[in-house]
Amino acid sequence: MLLTVDGQEHSFPLASLPKRLRSASQQERETFEISPSGYGIHWPLLDEDLSIDGLLEIKHSPRATRAQAAF
């Protein structure tokens, strides 16, 4: 389960995770670190990293360039 700063709880079916996490032991999955920036999760025993945005399936739009913004 992932608890975000706004208090929302998110859980993820094992099948939705990358293969390395799916096939890992419970101990390997439960040994993780939040990145210093707070935007990712690192599993040191697996050398696996996922972004929080990726887990939550958040899509970001590219920012407008100055030329686009002028119109």
Q: What is the pTM of this model?
A: 0.68
pLDDT tier at 1, thresholds 50, 70, 90: confident
Q: Which region holds residue 19: left if phi is over 0, alpha if psi is between -120 and 50, else beta?
A: alpha
Q: Which residues pair with 3 in a beta bridge?
A: 9
| Interacting residues of 58 by C-beta distance below 8 A, sequence separation 6+ | 52
CATH: 3.30.420.10, 3.90.1170.50, 3.30.2020.40, 3.40.50.720. Which one for 2-69? 3.30.2020.40
Q: Which residue has the tokens 């709880």?
A: 9
Rounded Cα distance between 31 and 21, Å, is 11
pLDDT tier at 29, thresholds 50, 70, 90: very high
Sorted by where each begins, the domain ranges of the chain are: 2-69
pLDDT value at residue 68? 58
